[in-house]
Amino acid sequence: MQQKIILVGGTSGIGREIATLYALQNHLVAVTGRRQQLLNKLQAQYPNNICTACFDVTGHENIQQLQSLIQHLNGLDLLIYNAGMGLPSLALNPDDEKNTTRTNVNGFVEIVAFAFHYFVQQGYGQIACTSSIAALRGNSWAPAYSASKAYMSIYAEGLNIKAHKLKKDIVVTDIRPGFIDTKAAAGNQRFWVASPGKAAQQIVKAIAQKKRVAYITRRWWLVAQILKWLPFWVYKRLA
């Protein structure tokens, strides 16, 4: 069955790989991002399955753009929020902290809340959001990043509960990647690094299975269990 999908944040990395996989599966995908040239290139590659919209989720046109894309697709089955920012902030740079929060929290909640209301009216639908393994604990390297990803994960859980109480067939999938080989994740102390292609394959599979939480790659589930139970006096030496 052909799905109608909006992918927010799909010009590069995992997002682009996800868009490509869905296009190859003959789904209709509306891809958004801030770089028009990359969007044009993606659409040219899959003209029958991909349309695009260039806008910044920290701006004031999110809802208008979503409504336009839904009209263009003639409906919506799945919304994926993959836009994100995670700048290192060793000196706690105020601008970096605010920009991270605007993207990972403000833009996220506006777009996801809109999609949830749309699916409530429709009676069904699915939302997936790219959080992070970093959502589980605080991080001195990028405080706003880990806190904003925690917001996304907790919000996703809340929406799943809300959908249950409303008795609607709506699933919100919380995607928690570990280290992915992208420019945004550059650094020296990395392990179990996955390619964007491998990560995208596991993400698409987790969405199809309607998982509530998915660790990408799956081995990061082990790290998650350790992080959840590690005492603060130990963790603060590592984070």
Q: Is the pLDDT of residue 239 over 70?
A: no
Percentage of the residues of the chain whose pLDDT score is greater than 90: 74
Report, as an integer, the average pLDDT of 64-88: 95
Percentage of the residues of the chain whose pLDDT score is greater than 70: 95
Question: Tens digit of pLDDT for each residue in 186-210?
Answer: 444 555 678 889 999 999 999 999 9
Please tell me the distance from the alpha carbon of residue 42 to that of residue 26, in angstroms, as a whole number: 15
Looking at the structure of the chain, the number of domains it has is: 1
Q: Is the pLDDT of residue 46 over 90?
A: yes
pTM of the model: 0.92
Tokens of 193: 């690094």
Q: What is the pLDDT of residue 185?
A: 44
Q: What is the pLDDT of residue 232?
A: 85
CATH number for position 149: 3.40.50.720
Domain that holds residue 156: 4-238
Report, as an integer, the average pLDDT of 220-226: 77
Tokens of 146: 């880990």
Determine contact, residues 89/142, Cβ cutoff 8 Å: yes
Question: Tens digit of pLDDT for each residue in 81-125?
Answer: 999 988 788 889 999 999 999 999 999 999 999 999 999 999 999
